[in-house]
Amino acid sequence: MDQNKPQEEDYGYNLFPERNSGKFQKGSIAESLFTFNHKCQVMLQFAMETSKLTVLSCLFSAVYKDRHFSCEDCDGTVSGGFDATSSQIVLCQNNIHQQSHMNRVVTHELIHAFDHCRAHVDWFNNFKHLACSEIRAANLSGDCSFHNEVSRFNFGLKKHHQECVRGRALRSILAVRKVSREEAEKVVDEVFDTCFNDHAPFGRIPHDKKDANFAYRDFENRDRYYANL
């Protein structure tokens, strides 16, 4: 075996073993009785009804819980993922245990789904596309909210939110791509300013459900002022 041969890229699918194993079939008795799966389904339903992701859901022609979301066991290092090959969001039922966490994960992955539909992201071949979507998802999902950062004992004043977004985007990239930290940092730095300031489908960074509705309205009305000049 050639020891110098580069390791084959798996695009992070190793983190989601049920994507290939077929361990449970949808609607099977084993799945319905699996406690983690049931809890995941309940939290997902609650999230779709109450969190700011309702704003994101309305941007698509139709979002079906059973078609576009899948609760599965994952590697212990991830909470969710967007599978571009099936246009499906994977929720890691063994790693999501609180409703607030579920809300953030679903919102984060719906940002990826929005980018997939809007920008035709080349997830597998364009590193900058991946980095940009990870920056946007970390920025707009609430991952780096003040409350969450305090709960992680992360404190900072000057541009702390930006540094949190940069760090979480970097970790996401390193989890799904076999690249060095230096390579990932270089790409994140190249696209950071543009992607951090791209708040679509919001007019600004939303802070909660109520604010998300206003931020979405800002986005919808973004051209009205200039149209009336």
Q: Which residues are catalytic?
A: 109
Q: How far is the C-alpha of 201 from the C-alpha of 195, rounded, in Å?
A: 13
Asked whether the whole model's pTM tops 0.85, one would answer no
- The whole-angstrom separation of Cα 200 and Cα 189 is 20
Digit-by-digit pLDDT tens for the chain (229 residues) are 344 444 567 778 888 887 765 544 455 545 444 578 899 999 999 888 765 555 455 455 556 677 889 999 998 889 999 999 988 999 999 999 999 899 889 989 989 988 998 888 999 999 999 999 999 999 998 888 666 555 555 666 667 889 999 999 999 999 999 999 999 999 999 999 999 999 988 867 776 666 566 565 655 566 554 544 4
